[in-house]
Structure 1
Amino acid sequence: MHSIAHFFEVMKQSKVAFIGTGVTNHDIIRLFRKKGIAVTLLDRKSPEQLGAVYQEYQELGVTFCLGDGYLDRLTEYDVVFRSPGMYYHNEKLQAARKAGVVITSEMEVFFALCPCKIFGVTGSDGKTTTTTLISEFLAHAGYRVHKGGNIGRALLPIIEDIREEDVAVVELSSFQLLSMRQSPDVAVITNIAPNHLDVHGTMEEYITAKTNLITHQDAFSRTVLNLDNETTWNLRGMVRGTLSAFSRKGHPERGTFLREDGMLCYTENGTETSVVAMQDIRIPGMHNVENYLAAIAAVWGTVSPEVIVDVAKNFGGVEHRIEFVRECGGVKWYNDSIATSPTRVLAGLNSFSQKLIVIMGGYDKKIPFEPMADTVCQKVKLVLLMGLTADKIEAAIRGSKLYQDGAPEFVHVGSMEEAVAEAKKRAKPGDIVTLSPACASFDLYPNFEARGVHYKNLVKELN
């Protein structure tokens, strides 16, 4: 692809379709119509279910292919943009690709056209906070930063506003990476643990998707890998450019580590630089120390230690990630709706030094809950269970060798309203209540943000 202008010219001469109306596609569809590009929306939903979006797209001159057969006529199009949630290996998509249809995504095109340096972050846990920290560091250092991908917004719609001297910081999910054939200038893999196996089917495919972040890097690139996570560290043989590690437990040759005295340090060629003290980091939890180590390794040499210290002392965290909601009657309420997997729950529970009241349960992603069971027995006194996975989670915790009758206690509830009311009734002054579901939200909510917002609104209404 030559240039941004050339890309839009090619699209004008093509029949273009978008699968789904998620956040990602919405702004691109608007932009394409403004540019005079013919667009068709393919979606399982009916006009009634699409509601205001259907109305808006009709006015924009979008054509529609809706209902259960929405993927049946893919070969009628030249270019099809899949949303991140649409699985790349879907049979109908693969058949269309073999028939010569260009199957692409917003991120693939963005990477091909982006004129500035790209920092890309992936991982099973910690990627949003790490992406946000990198953005904060660079913005505080005076760069014009475009943050997007799996976090915030689509970046392709603003491609014409991005200058060569800017930086893009992009969070990438395994679904986005599965089809990527370009890698960022600086790539960070926070860790790799079982996740989304309901879609990927095998751990191998999930790992392969994650490795696409570094597969296509060149010798001028930088790669940041987690020394403490075996699956991630095993990828170091693939690295083409400069390899930086981050570690909470060890001491890498090049990269960041946590010194015994609680100082986060950077080391290279035998020279060690103290960067920021652990107690100066405003957001709680050892997993956030790891996120800082990863982010510092990514921006080292671009951002000064003073900027890093300033961000550490002032940055209050990302919404829905162990986010403090309020204190009511001596009880502190936290929202950790992002904790959609057992490993995320562990990070949240380990951020606190006392026994918690935890709201858990949701949609079944087919990942085992046993890995968190021992920690739940140690760190939780009451588990409020809701959603499709309630019984499964209870069975996993009861199966722990550390489980004792009544410790933790279990209460099943039918809704978030009931969960919050029950938690308020049972919590005493000094207690901490946290929403830490261990599951996706799709049984009751469109996404974890909607779940977190509903929970926070209920907590804010307590008196």
Structure 2
Amino acid sequence: MDKETFFEQIKGKRIALCGVGRSHMPLADLFTRKGALVSVRDKREFEQLGSNGETLKKLGVKLILGKDYLADLDEDIIFRTPGMKFSLSELQEARENGQVVTSELEVFFDLCPCKIYAVTGSDGKTTTTSVMAEFLRSEGKTVHLGGNIGKPLLPEIEIIEKDHVAVVELSSFQLISMRKSPDVAVITNLSPNHLDWHKDMEEYIEAKKNVFIHQNAFSRTVINADNELTAALAKDVRGQCLMFSREKAVEHGAFCQGGFIFTSGIPKTTNQRVMEVSDIFLPGVHNIENYMAAICAVWGDVSTENIIKVAKNFTGVEHRIEFVREVDGVKYYNDSIATSPSRTISGTLSLYDKKIILLSGGYDKNIPYDSLGPVICEKVKTLILMGATAQKIEDSVKAAPNYDENGLEIVRVQNMAEALLIASNRAEKGDIVSLSPASAGFDLYTDFEARGRHFKQLVNEMK
């Protein structure tokens, strides 16, 4: 279906937007302008919606709020917010009644007239997505960047042309209900994550597979050869399958060897040296993987010269090992994006050649922390813990074979301000203090971004 037909079809239709958030606020305006009868449903009361509530009121949409917000869900078309479970009984009943249950990104994929590149994975999604967008911009493409990275794309559909490109970050929450895959799909890696939302690891992986499982033979899928869970998916790829690896040469894809990144077999050619690893401005071995994934995704669409130019100049995305400030010779870094143990291990804990002061802990997604303890024992001198996962992290540290109670101080705190006070008192000139929670932020913050902003605010307020 094209966008003109879609907008014609929703005229006069009753549309429910379930959940007030980033994706649904602009949709309320768009669909109202297109003649739909829009209702917005949210479990919060009007006062809790803040400025969003006032904006919706001015638009004239129908507001259905409070604990019974999903009662009598009888609209013709129902949009769920990504955080709302696809299997919710009210949504299942609506499907059985013949109502349309969909999401912002599902409709965007149906209507988008241009080539779509999409990235998912447990870690590294946002950086890989951002690097791909920079690669394509450097080639002169008009790029529409969005999805889980923070901006909905359906509200832009009217200005997207056939010769543009869309670069989309996708979470498992978004992917679980999708039945259309992008032209180019990337899976950075897979590790236990969001097991508070998914019923088990199998459902989580099956959701991630939707990024490529609906592709045709003319598509491209990029997979991490070094990640066992991801590499196992290669057998299900229908189109071109490219692998990337830091550990070994691959037949088709990108690999790292002798301080260089090579591509091989895209299409059948001998190994081509693309760039030096040292060309990548962003620190950390995980960013070498992110770049190899991005190179595979855009290979053939972006020149080697532009790939190198972006690598040398792209300074990263906020909240990802972001240097905040140096105070009295102590450097402070914000790695709030690290919402899983694997992210903290491959990111912050892989970077520094001396032991650091680590601020960690947060919301519990019911994922294991066993792998984190030994790395903390090796890389951290003072561990400051807060939030619901504090006990899990401490247990993993004390259970580690290399744990030394005299070599690692563990401090428990109630909040970020207390954590930074302890960190600044313990730190000496030349030390590194890093926030890298290995956990989501929902226990004390609305999301990892709010947590990162608060950390930066407190650091910048230091005397």
Task: Bin the TM-score by the shorter chain.
Answer: over 0.9
Cα distance between partner residues in 2 of 1:364 and 1:230: 24
Aligned position for 1:289: 288
| Matches of 2:406 and 2:104, distance apart in 1 | 50
Question: Which one-letter code corresponds to 1:335 in the other structure?
Answer: N
**Which secondary structure state, in structure 2, belongs to the residue aligned with residue 214 of structure 1?**
coil
Q: Amino acid of the residue matched to residue 241 of structure 1?
A: G
- Range that drifts further, 56-65 or 448-457: 56-65
Matched, 1:265 2:252: no
- Corresponding residue of 2:420: 420
Residue 13 (structure 1) shift: 3.0
Partner of 2:64: 65
2:144 maps to which of 146, 155, 167: 146
Matched to 1:203, the amino acid is M
What's the CA shift string for 1:379-434, capped at 9, x where partnerless? 00001111122222212211111101133211111211111111111100110000
Which of 104, 119, 122 is the matching residue for 1:121? 119
Distance 2:99 2:35 in 1: 21
How far apart in 1 are the matches of 2:78 and 2:352? 46
- Report percent identity of matched pairs: 53
* Corresponding residue for residue 81 of structure 2: 83
Partner of 2:235: 237
What is the CA-CA distance between 1:329 and the residue it aligns to?
A: 1.1
| SS at structure 2 position matched to 1:219 | coil
Match of 1:371 in 2: 371
Secondary structure of 1:87's counterpart equals coil
2:201 & 2:364 partners in 1: Cα distance?
A: 17
**Separation in 2 of the partners of 1:407 and 1:199?**
37
The one-letter amino acid of 1:253's match is E
Q: Report matched runs for 1:38-437 at 5 Å.
A: 38-74=37-73, 76-259=74-257, 261-268=258-265, 269-347=268-346, 348-437=348-437
Which residue identity is paired with 1:264? I
Q: Secondary structure at the match of 2:359?
A: strand
Contact 1:147 1:169 in 2 (8 A): yes
Classify the secondary structure of the residue corresponding to 2:212: helix
**Rounded Cα–Cα distance in structure 1 between residues aligned with 2:461 and 2:436:** 20
RMSD: 1.0
Alignment gaps of 5+ in structure 1: none
| Whole-angstrom CA distance in 1 between matches of 2:254 and 2:295 | 7
Deviations 1:238-285 (CA, angstroms, capped at 9, x unpaired): 1111111111111111110001x1101111135111111111211100
Q: What is the CA–CA distance in structure 1 between the aligned matches of 2:312 and 2:269, rounded to whole Å?
A: 28
Q: For the Cα contact (< 8 Å) 2:123–2:343, is it kept in 1?
A: yes
String of CA shifts for 1:44-93, please: whole Å, max 9, x gaps. 0001111221111111111011111111211x111100011111111221
Q: Which runs of 5+ in 2 are unaligned?
A: none
The one-letter code matched in structure 1 to 2:449 is E
1:209 positional shift: 0.2
| Residue identity matched to 1:160 | E
- AA in 1 matched with 2:208: K
Native 8 Å contact 1:186 1:223 kept in 2:
yes
* Alpha-carbon distance in 1 for matches of 2:407, 2:111: 55
- Change beyond 3 A, Cα 1:415–1:256: same
1:23-38 to 2 correspondence within 5 Å? 23-38=22-37
Q: Secondary structure at the match of 1:199?
A: coil
Paired AA for residue 378 in structure 1: E
Amino acid in the other structure paired with 2:304: P
Compared CA separation, residues 98 and 407, structure 1 to 2 (3 A): farther
The Cα shift of 1:357 comes to 0.3
Distance 2:259 2:184 in 1: 27
Q: What is the one-letter code of the residue matched to 1:274? A: R
Q: Secondary structure at the match of 1:325?
A: strand
**1:174 corresponds to which letter in structure 2?**
S
